[in-house]
Structure 1
């Protein structure tokens, strides 16, 4: 009330909660990998993750930071999100094959950690430090 209005000045602002986007600045090396095979997730504050509907890379890099801007279009009806909220973006940059062992299977003897491996007739302690 009583504010002067000029040509081109926005009068009101709003947002559509069904059309939210996430902007992220990626290092150029990660952006190149994400362009070739994008496996990208948006991780929300409650731990849930959302797959974006569309991924857009801006065709210019920031000379000061060496980053490339990426825009992720989120699916509709994300009730727990609102504009300006911080979220995490997970970008898969590679695959690694490894053997996972339950933490309860690890045996600690002094400063040595090991895992028992059961063969057909005997039990062998495999030591890994």
Structure 2
């Protein structure tokens, strides 16, 4: 990711983190709307799952200047997700739900550049998770 993309992701994440509970709930609502078949993969407390989502995003965003630090955690996360039944095609649905959530919460601040930066970040995260 370029320095400009890193700055864009970090600045926009600060905005979304301010409404983290609503944003996380919106993300999962959108995810299950896009693919209701994913709902059974989530057996635990959804409030806890929402906290984990925001924590993972925070870790990824906070590690953008040293992405090598994410390699191990992403592999572990990917392995757990595979064990839960996540398949490669689910990553595209997650990306769509994430971008929708960001757009909804950032409004006009969700420019093409910000969108491109998040697409780059998500691509990096998804690739790291698939390396299990």
Q: Give the structure, 1 or 2, with the largest relative contact order (CA under 8 Å, sep 6 or more).
A: 2
**TM-score of Structure 1 vs Structure 2, range by shorter chain:** under 0.3
More helix by proportion, 1 or 2? 2
- What is the TM-score of this pair, normalised by structure 1? 0.23
- What is the TM-score of this pair, normalised by structure 2? 0.23
The higher radius of gyration belongs to: 1
